Chain A
């Protein structure tokens, strides 16, 4: 993690602000990779890659998790704070403007019906993400069992999420342990 130069916080802010602003429907981690490793050469590929797995495994959204990881490597906690704030500030303002507009559009005939259609399309895309996430589990019996059990617990039986995670998380990791491999260090 040796830094050839100290990346200014303002540059971190600018980079992640743009990434946040144009973020639509995922794929952001690869964008962060392109911007920070390929284009700006802030860090090496070897420094970046562990962050991808970390961002995926930890709770929270993988793109903002990845931003925190990158910010942290570049400039410690200040860098992490700058990166996540930058990434969220644009969408935060835009979303609130949209929510405000939403309230004033509610009385328009047909608006609510239209919103159901937008929501349905968004649910369809979410379901596709689920299909992609489920694919690698299919050949693995215990992973399938964990997936179905967590779905039933939270989605059907409406058990609260936190206790479900506290029980299922350790069980699932323990089940995966015998199959887990150490990757050769690069």
Chain B
């Protein structure tokens, strides 16, 4: 691990922080492109595994960046990646927060909401497609994605951990009995 890598981690993630409209899901596609395709710091497999871990553990989805930092450059990488993903967007929220609460209910609030929500939704689907491509070796993972999505729409109250354990269990069973 060297300083150059740490700086690179920061310069890859910090701009994504400012662009992460709709939350962590908007950065999966660009992150995959940067750290797997271009830098080749981690494999597609590791990328997918880290995503799974970040979703199985408590905390916001963007802790995924922390895990990538950890995988690439150890503890220092984890710290730098966390600062890179949280600091820039947090400064924006802090800065805008002052103005925002003073002008509550104004038309431009509504325009921002209406304008940025569909953008975030589109980026979320971009993330889903990126991750689904990494996961789709065979029929079973694709089926799990579809079934979990449908079940979750139908019964939103089912705890996420139940889905994660069932998904993992199914794939393990398929491996063990194949």
**A-side interface residues toward B, CB under 8 Å?**
1, 20-25, 28, 47, 49-51, 53-65, 68-69, 72-73, 77, 80, 84, 88, 90-92, 94-96, 98-99, 102, 110, 112-134, 136-137, 140, 143-144, 146-151, 153-156, 158, 160-162, 164-165, 168-169, 172-177, 179-186
Q: For B144, give its contact among A24, A60, A99, A124 (CB under 8 Å).
A: A124
Is A91 a contact partner of B55 (Cβ separation < 8 A)? no
**Interface check B121, CB cutoff 8 A:** yes
B residues less than 8 Å from A80 (CB atoms)? 90, 94
- B109-158 at interface with A (beta carbon < 8 Å): 109-132, 134-135, 137, 140-142, 144-149, 151-153, 156
- B3-33 at interface with A (beta carbon < 8 Å): 15-27, 29-30, 33
Could you tell me the dominant secondary structure of chain A's interface residues? helix
Is B23 a contact partner of A124 (Cβ separation < 8 A)? no
Is B153 a contact partner of A131 (Cβ separation < 8 A)? yes
A20→B56 CA distance, assembly (Å) = 14
A residues less than 8 Å from B41 (CB atoms)? none
Is B129 a contact partner of A155 (Cβ separation < 8 A)? yes
Is A182 a contact partner of B101 (Cβ separation < 8 A)? no
Is B86 a contact partner of A134 (Cβ separation < 8 A)? no
Is B153 a contact partner of A128 (Cβ separation < 8 A)? yes
**Interface check B48, CB cutoff 8 A:** yes
